[in-house]
Each structure stands twice: as C-alpha cells, then as structure tokens.
Amino acid sequence: TFHISYTIPIANYSAEREFNKLARIKNKYRTNSSQENLNSFMVLCTESDVLEVINTQDIIRVCFPKIKKKIFIKITILFLY
C-alpha cells in the first residue's frame, strides 16, 4: 500500500500532461489536418524522448527531397514541438 500511494499520482500526472498536449494539438491543427495526422502529431509529442535521439533533419530530407527551404524550416519547427 505504501508504494502504490506514491506511484498513482505520478501516473495521473503523466496522463494529464498527455491529455493537455492532445488538447493543444487538436486546437492548433484541427482545421487543416486529418485524423491520421493528428494521431501522428500526438505520438510525436508524447514520445518526445525518443524523438530527441532521432535526427529529424535526415527524416525530412528523405521524405521531402524537393521541398522549398521556407517550408523545410516550418516542418523542422513542427517536429520540435
């Protein structure tokens, strides 16, 4: 019982934080994104510790080889959030 009382608030806080991220993503991207894109944004935000290890510049270069520099910068900023 002693251990459970200390782990439950941490788990609740973590879940609350993820729902707050979901609310921000839905508000910001709802008008111009499909459900699949919203799901992808949510995964990127919740798994940000994994994303820090991945080089996003390489992913962008592979997925969007002919992209203009202005759009390239916007996509990079999107991956950081």
State the pLDDT at residue 77. 54
CA-based nearest residue to 41, from 81, 73, 72: 81
Q: What does pTM read for this prediction?
A: 0.35
Question: What CA–CA distance (Å, rounded) separates 5 from 7?
Answer: 6
**Domain regions of the chain by residue span:** 2-80
* Predicted pLDDT at 34: 72
Calculate the CA dihedral of residues 21, 22, 28, 33 and round it to 10 degrees. Answer: 140
Between helix 35-46 and helix 2-29 the angle, nearest 10°, is: 140
What are the tens digits of pLDDT across the range 22-69?
Answer: 777 666 656 566 777 777 777 777 676 766 777 767 777 777 666 655
